[in-house]
Structure 1
Amino acid sequence: MSLPFALATRVVDALRALPVVEVGSPYRELRSPMSPAPVGTMRVWEGDGEVSRVVYVGLVVPPINLDSHMVFAFTAPKSGIPHFTLDSVHGGAYYAYHLDLIPRAELSSHLSYMDTAYHPLTGLYEEASQREGLSRAHIGPRQHALMSPWMLVHRADEAAFRGMDAIVDQYVSHWLGLVEAGLPADVVASLGDTDLAARDAAVRANLFSPAVDPVWAQVSRLLGEPASDEIREVLMGGPIA
């Protein structure tokens, strides 16, 4: 098991404790003209509670040094609890990761929401950001704007990447705690000025847009546009087969 796959599997195993049910086994095998065998899988779990969908997408293509694993856990459309996400990658010359809780409301105008959902991660975020073996990841300002200020996104050497287990565990644990406990009533009330479902649909359309994230052009070249579009549709909350 590669290091990126092991890290993603660590998260998937934690999220499977949620009241969600897997659809298919896997939901899709992902194929490419580059290989007669499948180059990846998409797994999907559905829930009807606080967490509505969990998605894992893994792509492993040794000829192009690609070993990429993505995990998203999406909360219900009208929930204020952030979504959870992890990207875990080995690109041949480097490792990379992206770890965050995606805001469901504007943080700068909802201080109690920010303090509840994000401030407890501050010490961990600061410590993790200063570790040896990390360097700046290539992510643009528009992508940053769609995420939270507590996003951890770096390239990493092998030692630094191996050291991410505990950081990821604590982000997952914090997020699961929010899911289990729910947001305090006063925080929920403070979000009354936000149409949570409409905002989420707009944010996810931008977050998974090929015009914003160049990774989708690479996915399309690898899998073809229909498969790439299906993955994006599932991530945006569209219907599944």
Structure 2
Amino acid sequence: MSLPLELCENAVAHLTARHPLTAVIDEPLSSPMSPDPVGALRVWQGAPGQPVAKVVYVGLVVPMIRLDSHMVFAFTAADSAVPHFTLDSVYGGDYYAYHLDLIPRAELSSHLPYLDAAYQPLTPVFTEASAMDGLSRADIGPRQCALMSPWMLVGRATEEAFRKIGAAVSAYAEHWSALVTDGLPADVVAGLADTDLAARDAAVRVNLFSPDVDPVWARVTRLIGEPATDRIRAELIGNG
């Protein structure tokens, strides 16, 4: 098992073990570049009323172009204030790369108690991981950053640094699961009464997975075609 796949599979194993989810999709992804499948789309669905609505995994492995890419998103329910969990884990031939974050469900700057409850506990992990040797800046622009949280960990890494990032992934996943299981404090939730959580989430996810915002979708389309790419985006945009 490659390092990017192992990192992502460990996260998927944590998510599916800790939360009630049912596997509903496991489909191969094809490409004109190869007679064999080049990846897979896997989806787990939460039961109605459960705090975790959906987990989506997308893997793309094409040795001829030195691509080994794996992504997992865990989405909370439409009316939940608990952030979404996300991990990207990639080997691009010359480097490893990763992206780890909890995607906010409300504006952080105007909801300080929410920021403190959902994100402040991650600060020691974020600080330590950001200071590791062997990391360099990832190719991600301000528009994408604006859709994520200030606790986002994203970068390119040497193999040694990439091996170490697993500790941060485990810490973020464990914190996220605790938020899901225990819920946010009642006063924090009450402070979000000015936010239509479902409407905000729908708008953010359309933007987050927009080809206009994230150039990765153009590369994915060239690899697997527009219909398959649109299907993946649809799974990521909606909880159904």
Aligned to 1:145: 146
- TM-score normalized by structure 1? 0.97
Distance 1:100 1:31 in 2: 29
Aligned to 1:215: 216
Aligned to 1:13: 13
Q: After superposition, where does 1:190-205 map in structure 2 within 5 Å?
A: 190-205=191-206
Aligned to 2:33: 34
Distance 2:147 2:13 in 1: 26
1:237 correspondence with 2:233: no
Q: After superposition, where does 1:81-160 map in structure 2 within 5 Å?
A: 81-160=82-161
1:108 is paired with a residue whose SS is: coil
How far is 1:44 from its partner?
0.2
Tell me the amino acid that sits aligned with residue 38 of structure 1.
P
2:132 is paired with a residue whose SS is: coil
Distance 2:238 2:8 in 1: 21
Deviation per residue, 1:198-236 (Å, 9 max, x gap): 000000000000000000000000000000000000000
Distance 2:167 2:139 in 1: 24
Tell me the amino acid that sits aligned with residue 96 of structure 2.
Y
How far is 1:164 from its partner?
1.0
Distance 2:101 2:54 in 1: 17
Distance 2:239 2:158 in 1: 36
Aligned to 2:43: 44
Tell me the amino acid that sits aligned with residue 9 of structure 1.
E
Tell me the amino acid that sits aligned with residue 200 of structure 1.
D
Q: Number of aligned residue pairs: give it.
A: 237
1:192 is paired with a residue whose SS is: coil
Deviation per residue, 1:107-138 (Å, 9 max, x gap): 00000000000000011101110100000000
Tell me the amino acid that sits aligned with residue 100 of structure 2.
L
- Identity between Structure 1 and Structure 2 (%): 68
Tell me the amino acid that sits aligned with residue 42 of structure 1.
L
Gaps of 5+ in 2: none
Aligned to 1:187: 188
Distance 1:173 1:238, change over 3 A: closer
Distance 2:166 2:105 in 1: 26
How far is 1:238 from its partner?
5.7
How far is 1:166 from its partner?
1.0
Q: After superposition, where does 1:158-173 map in structure 2 within 5 Å?
A: 158-173=159-174
How far is 1:60 from its partner?
0.1
How far is 1:165 from its partner?
1.3
CA contact (8 A) 2:53 2:239 kept: no
CA contact (8 A) 2:98 2:154 kept: yes
CA contact (8 A) 2:75 2:239 kept: no
Distance 1:140 1:43 in 2: 28
Gaps of 5+ in 1: none
- Which aligned segments of 4 or more residues in structure 1 are displaced greater than 2 angstroms? none
How far is 1:139 from its partner?
0.1
Aligned-residue CA RMSD (Å): 0.7
Aligned to 1:3: 3
Distance 1:15 1:122 in 2: 22
Distance 2:175 2:56 in 1: 19
Distance 2:15 2:84 in 1: 12
Tell me the amino acid that sits aligned with residue 192 of structure 1.
A
